[in-house]
Chains A and B, each alone.
Chain A
Amino acid sequence: MQISARQSTGGTILDVAGDIDLAHSPAMRKALLGEIKEKKTPKVFLNLRNVRYIDSSGIASLVEGLKASRDIGSRLILFALNPTVREVMELSRLQKIFEIYESEEQALAA
């Protein structure tokens, strides 16, 4: 799994690629919480376009990030979920809890 950060209007975009599983979810959690809790970035956008797989530990990291962002009044915004990731979000019944957009353009405009 690879994570890279780039700046955009009002926040940071984290581009994630690969599998977010038990081996790699700690790295995503660290990157996510670093942006939210340490840098206190007002909007963190998570680009999941190139994520092929996410397991429950990856979902748990996203939930942790969401709670942290709510605690400090910032926003965690997900975009470009492929069908596999969307399926897992639906199984978790979390698709309505997160802010999710189809594209980067839509997410940035939110």
Chain B
Amino acid sequence: MGRRKRGIVGCGVLPETASVLNATVAQTPSPRSRKVPREDSRLRSEHFLTLQLESNPEALCLVRATLERATEVMDFPEEDSRAIVRSVDEALANVIRHAYKGRTGRPIEVHCSRLWKGNDSEHPKGLEILLKDSGAAADPKKFKGRALEEVRPGGLGIHFMKQSMDVVEFQRKSGKNLLRMVKYLAPQKPEAIAQGE
């Protein structure tokens, strides 16, 4: 209850790709929220959007378009909006290329949650994105990225994600790869909160 299918969100470029993405949007703010036990215990997250897609590169433009709009609605500055879109796009590309080894039709989920502080339900403090896939276990060593001094193709995606997001965490759980990324709405970064109060 409390959720409805909003149908397909398309980017208007390749309508034939629409079958590779489903979006589920929380109809009203969920009364249940969960604590975020990581960066700041005073933050709670509230899920508002789930994207279910297939491991198909053609789906990526649809995800980018959806996230671009979601970050606009949350009043992220344009630069931060581009950073979020870029990071999720790179993460999904890695899932398709590495976890699923280029095979199409495999499931990927993108869960988006707003982060709130205390009882404030008007001014979100950030966006938490959780990616889930059932592909081959990712190698944690590759999440370190590579030195950029060496000019060569490849290995830039992780660097983009780490440069663009405030939190990038990976774990393998119950046979799934879980990638959690957080972007805070400036200036409420954890450091600022911890020092300011």
Q: Are A63's CB and B153's CB within 8 A?
A: yes
Q: Are A87's CB and B82's CB within 8 A?
A: yes
Residues of B within 8 A of A97 (CB): 151
User: Which residue of chain A lies nearest to B151 when distances are taken between CB atoms in the complex?
Assistant: A97
A97→B97 CA distance, assembly (Å)? 27
**Residue B93 is within 8 A (CB to CB) of chain A in the complex:** yes
Shortest A85–chain B CB gap in Å is 11
**Residue A60 is within 8 A (CB to CB) of chain B in the complex:** yes
Question: Size of chain A's interface in residues, with CB distance under 8 A?
Answer: 24
A-facing residues in B93-133 (Cβ within 8 Å): 93, 96-97
For B163-181 the 0/1 string (1 means CB < 8 A from A) is 1100000000000000000
Residues of B within 8 A of A60 (CB): 153-154, 156
User: Which residue of chain B lies nearest to A62 when distances are taken between CB atoms in the complex?
Assistant: B153
B-facing residues in A28-87 (Cβ within 8 Å): 53, 55-57, 59-61, 63-64, 66-67, 84, 87
A-facing residues in B5-24 (Cβ within 8 Å): 13
Question: Per a CB cutoff under 8 Å, which of B64, B96, B156 touches A56?
Answer: B156
Q: Please give 5 more A-B residue pairs, beta carbons under 8 A apart, in addition to A57-B93, A63-B151, A91-B160.
A: A21-B64, A21-B89, A22-B97, A60-B153, A94-B151
Residues of A participating in the B interface, judged by any CB pair closer than 8 Å: 18-19, 21-23, 53, 55-57, 59-61, 63-64, 66-67, 84, 87-88, 91-94, 97
Residues of B participating in the A interface, judged by any CB pair closer than 8 Å: 13, 57-58, 60-61, 64, 79, 82, 86, 89-90, 93, 96-97, 148, 151-154, 156-157, 159-160, 163-164
The 4 closest A-B pairs by CB, nearest first: A60-B153, A23-B57, A56-B156, A22-B57
